[in-house]
Amino acid sequence: MANRLACRFNALLLVVGVALLGATPARAETAADAFDQGEAAREEMRFGDAAQAYWRAVTLDPGYYRAHVRFQDASLASGTELDSLTADYELLERDFPAHAAAIHLHALRLKPPAERVPLVEALLKQGDSSDGHLELGRAKLALGDASGAVKELQKALATAPGDRPDVLLLMAEAEMAAGDADSARKRLENAVGANPQFWLGHLALARLDLLAKEFEKAEQRARTVLEQRPSYIAAFLVRSEARVGLKDVEGAMGILDSAARIAPEARPVILARADLHGRADTEAGFNAALTLYQILVDRSSEDVHALYGKGWALERLKKWPEAEETYREIVSFQPTHLEALNSVGYTLLKQGRVSEAQVQFKKALAVDEKFVAAMLNLGSTLDMQSKWGDAIKVYETVLKMKEHKENLRALVNCAFDHEENGSFPKAAKLLEQAHDVAPQDANILTWLGDNMYFQKKWKDAEKRYREAIALDEKLFFAWRGLGFALMERNRIDDAIAALEKAYTLKPDAIELLILMGDLYLDQERLEEAFAKYKAYRDAGGDDPDVLDALDELAEELGK
């Protein structure tokens, strides 16, 4: 606040000084001038500079609605404390009594939404206003009451004096939240059709295109914004995300590099670059992401996105203790952060600390009993403790949720647990459901084959294994299972051929050499049996029974 007051004082001295010198003073800055300067700084994410410019606009015209909104947003983005902003508005109410009612409405925006709603409603009872309905709509939207927000914003639009892009944009956001994306899109398209220079409308449409996975449209709209506002960082970020959607990661990084040249210290740019490096899914990418996340963590030890990204990168680098410590930092100041609690548990699980991990998952579920990620991880800990029945209950709870009735992890793990309990028909039903959800997943077909094998349904097992191989001819377990199923059907040559293929795919599976040797021996094909047993010994096998059989065959064959 002191910097903003100094700014006002210095501006006054400049005007007085010019007058004393007898020169013609420069045109006095208007609220619109100051607002435009704020917009330029905001577009480059220089939020401190933007806040100072918007403050000048507010003091030059205390009734300038958008300047108040931008001033508050930029101030908070630059790290200004809420108490300091509240004090600013107390000064404004004191210095501009003629605008006290409007300033008071803006001051209410600094309060939590739940407190704000009844206070704004009380003001509206004293006198209807477009700004009042706008703020009530904003508060209701923040509380998750999207339909209520739409109603208030409709009133704001009906009573708005002239063009109110702020109301229009918030209305589109509320309609999206209410599940009416079509109305939001139509409203924005009408607005940019009427005013092609409405760059905020173009940007909002680009974001809608991203949600709809219409990436080419999104990029084109972002380009349109940049043609009008060449340094608007938010448009660079949208365009980069569109390139990612188009599988052009290199192009996306080039766009972010351009943004970084304009605003190298901007947090959203650093985050976007870090996230994109992580998507490369390489050790170099994870290390690059880690470096960028650390820059932001060094700036603020409570930057949740940066901390979580750092933990995520450490996980991918398999630095489990460091990742655990990072996630715990989030929990230290946000003890109910679900993702962080769950991630602490996951990193403990990867360190083999199953009971401790279980405690963390239960903590997350104490915050939200329907947090599926923690439920599934809790099920995994119960599996590790061989508590199959308890794990089944967890997975069945997930599958009873309407939006998770096709959760593959729950279906498959629940099936495995039923198999552990000997309930193979129940497991088969779950695996069939999983196959319906993911018909191209060869592993699920292989597990179905295993299930049929355990039920001694050899023909059905063969069918499933062959279906799996048709999807992935390099799937070791499918070839091995096929060999077992064919062996049970007494199709020995076919079984050996399948086992040979499996061994080719996994040469360290030397136990298959024993099995093939035994099959040859049963058929009195001594040379082939000798060759397999010898290959087993040469591969380092030391089973004494196999080595004895090899010696006997060598003697019989005169080797």
pTM for the predicted model, two decimal places: 0.81
Burial of 122 per CB tally in 10 Å (0-12, 13-18, 19+): exposed
Q: From residue 241, how far is each of 202, 268, 401 by CA, in Å? A: 16, 13, 32
pLDDT tens-digit series, residues 158-214? 887 666 888 899 999 999 999 999 999 999 999 999 999 999 999 999 999 999 999
Which CATH number, 1.10.10.10, 1.25.40.10, 3.40.50.2300, 3.40.640.10, labels domain 319-385? Answer: 1.25.40.10
Along the 559 residues of the chain, how does pLDDT read in single tens digits? 444 444 433 333 333 333 333 444 556 889 999 999 999 999 999 999 999 999 999 999 999 999 999 999 999 999 899 999 999 999 999 999 999 999 999 999 999 999 999 999 999 999 888 999 999 999 999 999 999 999 999 999 888 766 688 889 999 999 999 999 999 999 999 999 999 999 999 999 999 999 999 999 999 999 999 999 999 999 999 999 999 999 999 999 999 999 999 999 999 999 999 999 999 889 999 999 999 999 999 999 999 999 999 999 999 999 999 999 999 999 999 999 999 999 999 999 999 999 999 999 999 999 999 999 999 999 999 999 999 999 999 999 999 999 999 999 999 999 999 999 999 999 999 999 999 999 999 999 999 999 999 999 999 999 999 999 999 999 999 999 999 999 999 999 999 999 999 999 999 999 999 999 999 999 999 999 999 999 999 999 999 999 999 999 988 888 7
The tokens for 300 are 């603020």
Burial of 290 per CB tally in 10 Å (0-12, 13-18, 19+): buried
Residue type, 114: A
Look at residues 231, 203, 201, 229 and name the one whose alpha carbon lies nearest to residue 218.
Answer: 203
Spacing of C-alpha 325 from chain mean position: 21
Q: Please list, residue by residue across 509-538, b when 16 or more beta carbons sit within 10 angstroms of its beta carbon and e when fewer do.
A: bbebbbbbbbbbbeeebeeebbbbbbbbbe
The Cα 206–Cα 222 span in angstroms is: 6
